[in-house]
């Protein structure tokens, strides 16, 4: 645990504070204030990302610290989900945004690193960006799955939703989030494979990170097949699949890079 007395650290702490205050305001039935604070947090999160970009002179997606900064820019996804997909849970987005920034603010090393030769590829940004975006959708899906398991038949933020908004119930919201996130997860896996071929000579190297990524993709494949077979009949099992998916994603993103159990080609991401 280390406090960062730098401009970067300050921006991270302001973002965390803004997201947590936004969450508090939303829970206290002050949706307008909550939304404004959420927007403020997003603007500071973008500033933090741009500042890091300027500081390291490459798109900051190289390591876990930079990936956390990227994941915290949640706001456009929240708006897209609410307006286009009729999926709520904005207060959960605020919480997820704050939670992903905590390790960046207190745990991960912020020392700037030069890009090693393997990362100097046109595939670097699309591969990581697509994965990050899919992880955000899958995290939202897991949130709705937990709501469903907790026994909420209707959308979890129905009392907080503005009048006239017809948001989906948790099980359907989970499905819709996975339907949006799954193509991105697939594209991330395929882009990684193509990049592996260009950089290391093999499109599949049986590296721990690759295998965990495959496992997370397969969990969602299983979810989609299971839901196709039974529809809404076993809602709880559907939700368990979605939660299992996000657990495997967390392992893929964090444990594989942080643990010495999984030495492999992706260790520079630590």
Partner 1 sequence: MLLVLSLALDSLTGCTTESRRKYCKGTPSLRDGNPKKVTNWLIAAPMSINQTFKNKFRRAIMWAALALIILLIFLSIYGAFIGPDRSKKFFNSIPLAVYWAVFALLLGVGIAAFRRLLRVPALLLIHVGCILILAGAIWGSEDGHKLRKRLFGIDKIPTGQMQIYEGYSDNRVILENNQIRELPFYIGLKDFRIEYYKPGYLHIQSRQGDGWKFPVKIDTEFSLGPEFGTVEILKVFENFKITIEGDRSTATDEPGPGSNPALEVRISTGRRRKASPSGLTVESPNGRTATRYVFERFPGHIHPDDEILMSYQRVISDYISQLQVIRDGRVVAEKDIEVNHPLHFGGYHFYQQDYDHEAGQYTVLTVTSDSGLALVYVGYLMLCTGVFWHFWLRQLPVRFSRLVARPSWPWFHGLEARATSNSE
Cα(216)–Cα(65) distance, integer angstroms: 22
**CA-based radius of gyration for the chain:** 19
Closest CB to partner 1 among 33 and 193? 193
Residues of span 205-224 touching partner 1 by CB under 8 A: 205-208, 211-212, 214-215, 218-219, 221-222
Stretch near partner 1 under the rule CB under 8 A, chosen from 42-50, 65-73, 151-159, 259-267: 259-267
Closest CB to partner 1 among 34 and 105? 34
Check binding of 45 to partner 1 (CB under 8 A).
Answer: no
Closest CB to partner 1 among 116 and 151? 116
Check binding of 110 to partner 1 (CB under 8 A).
Answer: no
Stretch near partner 1 under the rule CB under 8 A, chosen from 1-9, 11-19, 44-52, 189-197: 189-197
* Out of 179, 250, 254, 258, the residue judged to bind partner 1 by CB under 8 A: 179
Check binding of 85 to partner 1 (CB under 8 A).
Answer: yes
- In angstroms, give the least distance from the CB of 181 to partner 1: 9
Check binding of 186 to partner 1 (CB under 8 A).
Answer: yes
Cα(251)–Cα(257) distance, integer angstroms: 9
Check binding of 267 to partner 1 (CB under 8 A).
Answer: no
Check binding of 23 to partner 1 (CB under 8 A).
Answer: no
Residues of span 86-105 touching partner 1 by CB under 8 A: 86
- In angstroms, give the least distance from the CB of 141 to partner 1: 13
Check binding of 258 to partner 1 (CB under 8 A).
Answer: no
What's 106-157 look like in SS3? HCCCCCCCCCCHHHCCCCHHHHHHHHHHHHHHHHHHHHHHHHHHCCCCCCCC
Q: Are 17 and 97 in contact (CB under 8 A)?
A: no
Closest CB to partner 1 among 43 and 221? 221
Check binding of 55 to partner 1 (CB under 8 A).
Answer: no
Stretch near partner 1 under the rule CB under 8 A, chosen from 10-18, 97-105, 152-160, 180-188: 180-188
Positions that interact with partner 1 (CB under 8 A): 83-86, 114-118, 120-121, 179-180, 182-183, 186-187, 190, 193-195, 197-208, 211-212, 214-215, 218-219, 221-222, 225-226, 228-229, 256, 261-265
């Amino acid at each position: 645990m280390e406090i960062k007395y730098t401009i970067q650290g300050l921006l991270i702490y302001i973002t965390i504070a803004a997201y947590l205050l936004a969450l508090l305001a939303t829970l206290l039935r002050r949706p307008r204030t909550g939304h404004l604070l959420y927007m403020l947090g997003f603007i500071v999160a973008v500033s933090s990302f741009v500042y890091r970009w300027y500081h390291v002179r490459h798109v900051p997606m190289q390591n876990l610290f930079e990936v956390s900064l990227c994941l915290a820019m949640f706001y456009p996804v929240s708006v897209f989900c609410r307006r286009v997909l009729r999926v709520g849970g904005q207060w959960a987005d605020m919480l997820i945004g704050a939670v992903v920034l905590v390790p960046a603010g207190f745990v991960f090393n912020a020392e700037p690193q030069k890009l090693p030769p393997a990362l100097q590829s046109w595939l670097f940004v699309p591969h990581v960006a697509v994965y990050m975006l899919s992880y955000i959708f899958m995290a939202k899906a897991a949130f709705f799955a937990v709501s469903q398991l907790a026994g909420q038949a209707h959308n979890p933020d129905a009392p907080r939703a503005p009048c006239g908004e017809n948001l989906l119930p948790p099980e359907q919201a989970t499905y819709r989030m996975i339907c949006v996130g799954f193509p991105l997860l697939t594209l991330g896996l395929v882009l990684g494979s193509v990049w592996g071929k260009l950089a290391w000579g093999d499109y599949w190297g049986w590296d721990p990170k690759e295998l965990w990524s495959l496992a997370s993709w397969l969990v969602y494949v299983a979810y989609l097949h299971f839901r196709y077979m039974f529809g809404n009949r076993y809602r709880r099992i559907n939700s368990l699949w979605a939660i299992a998916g996000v657990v495997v994603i967390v392992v893929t993103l964090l444990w594989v890079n942080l643990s010495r159990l999984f030495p492999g080609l992706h260790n520079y991401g630590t």
